[in-house]
Structure 1
């Protein structure tokens, strides 16, 4: 399997472009800090702007510019500094309730720096590590459909509990603590409840179809032994992913948290560009022309005007 992720081909050039943009954004932010009390308070709280700038301008802004210019060794300074500042800002904002927007900016910078650092040094992002170890691609052990359904049910309890319960709860807490929350109209919360019900129904339908028709589970470590072209898989190729992203957005709307909505949408980007190419490469390797024909006939995210007829799934 190729280590490259199709959505991120471009390698070092793309990474250097990111660092150039980061250097410019960092410089503009510091101009804003010293020219606007609102920017300074929102992003630094009560921290001494001069003292922070004395370190951050050379170690973050200038370092980003140097990496953009092709001096990769500076990454050994830039990455640790960004991580240290981010950790410090998270601690400061959680203790004081100040500088929440500064934390968000640094979290984004840390993720961007890490991803672009891989691009600059290796030319690709090591997406395969997302599906390694316990989540590595492996076929499900042969078992009766009821056993596969039971395994899938256990996965749903664990993954829905974590990604739709625990993580959003933490995000809602820090959103309030960092004073980043916004008031959501009651209609938004009702819409979130309706969307959660619909998305959960889709997820359960897809999971049941996968377990009973594919002789496996949705988890990469127990993948189906047969190509599933039935139920919701006639409408989109990845109904579990569609359901999961919609559920995350729904939880955000229901809780009135824009950060949870952002978390869900960010998950869709990670899945689409990092995980999906690996999953589809595995399916193509196992099912060949059958999967290739299915991929051409059925869209990934949005159902096409004419879904695959039910007769097409009769033998799948």
Structure 2
């Protein structure tokens, strides 16, 4: 998907284009070949990534369907890209089952999950030439202006949204990921001080999230959820300090929960979620705001930082 000026979606400044997909497959081919060299020469690598699985038959298939296919895909060959993608995700699913049942080869399962996701994105880029961000912006993330409603109803809807999203993304998913981390023997020792920092960060971020949600529901004639987005431009409360206080709160909450659980995978998961939101959701939301509110939003965007509060933010006139 292209942004408003025709530029591709960017992640950490890297444009998601067909060339990016080809470069990814080139790196994957080299990494896959290097990994098999390490498996053959370093017993510890073989133990951590394959467990008790026999390396020879896996290597015969993987060198063809993963390494060689990725190498061919690096030249932009579509069938090779999809072959590598299907194989990577098949192996990833198999490794997830194996690691969960046996508690062995957790690092191998994790590596193949990353390879499966990366191969899928790269194959899409080679096939389409750009990343179809609109595939993500569906359902509850689809942008629709809220219907006119009483302030009390918007506040109630916002409270329900927070309960559902916080329950899923701050309780259910992190607990599942933390369990998988322990089951796959991927955990690391975390000092008590780190968990205490996590509690403090979670409380502060939750307070910011509640403040942001209440402000949006009270003044915006809508809710923070994109599918019932505010009908009025809100520049009051925490929105005077930073343009995306709900996102700042959510990302900080996710990292904080990871610290509390002592789970580095939960922390990484929260950070990856922030990259997806910043690269795909935020540009679409801000383009929608500019289309609906015009110059007042552009002035607000120019005066208030996206993520980091400015030392002395300029004065903003409420709309």
What TM-score comes out, normalization by structure 1 length?
0.96
Aligned to 1:12: 18
Matched, 1:229 2:232: no
CA-to-partner distance for each residue in 1:3-37, whole Å, 9 max, x for gaps? 76531645111110111111111111111111101
State whether residues 83 and 110 of structure 1, in contact with CA within 8 Å, keep that contact through their aligned partners in structure 2. Answer: yes
CA distance in 2, matches of 1:253, 1:173: 14
Following superposition, the deviation at residue 307 of structure 1 comes to 2.0
Corresponding residue to 1:39 among 42, 45, 50: 45
3-state SS, counterpart of residue 131 of structure 1: coil
Partner of 1:78: 84
How far apart, in 1, do the equivalents of 2:8 and 2:196 lie?
Answer: 38
Root mean square deviation, CA, Å: 1.4
Please tell me whether residue 113 in structure 1 is matched to residue 119 in structure 2.
yes
Partner of 1:22: 28
Pairing 1:179–2:182 present: no
Residue 242 of structure 2 aligns to a residue whose secondary structure is coil
For 2:55, which of 49, 55, 62 is the aligned residue?
Answer: 49
1:1-316 to 2 correspondences below 5 Å? 2=2, 5-7=8-10, 9=15, 11-309=17-315, 312-313=316-317, 315-316=318-319
TM-aligned CA distance change 1:233 to 1:183, over 3 Å = same
- Structure 2: runs of 5+ lacking an equivalent: none
Residues 16 and 131, structure 2, Cα contact 8 Å, conserved in 1:
no
Q: Is the 8 A contact 2:50 2:104 kept in 1?
A: yes
Residues 198-244 of structure 1, C-alpha deviations (whole Å, 9 max, x = no match): 00000001000100111111101100001111111111110000000
- Give yes or no for contact 1:66–1:74 (8 Å, CA) kept in 2: yes
More helix by share: 1
CA contact (8 A) 2:65 2:83 kept: yes
SS of the residue aligned with 2:221?
coil
Whole-angstrom distance in 2 between the partners of 1:116 and 1:10: 9
Deviation, structure 1 residue 111: 1.0
**Are the aligned partners of 1:128 and 1:278 in contact in 2 as well (CA < 8 Å)?**
no
Instruction: Give the Cα separation in 1 of the matches to 2:279 and 2:286.
Output: 11
Q: CA deviation at 1:75?
A: 2.3
CA apart distance, 1:2: 4.7
* Contact 1:235 1:308 (C-alpha < 8 Å) held by counterparts: no
Cα distance, 1:70 vs. partner? 2.0
Deviations 1:116-150 (A, max 9, x none): 11111111111112122343111111111111100
Rounded Cα–Cα distance in structure 2 between residues aligned with 1:116 and 1:174: 27
Q: What secondary structure sits across from 2:136 in the alignment?
A: helix
- The verdict on how the C-alpha distance between 1:9 and 1:30 changes in structure 2, with shifts beyond 3 A counting, is same
How many pairs align?
A: 313
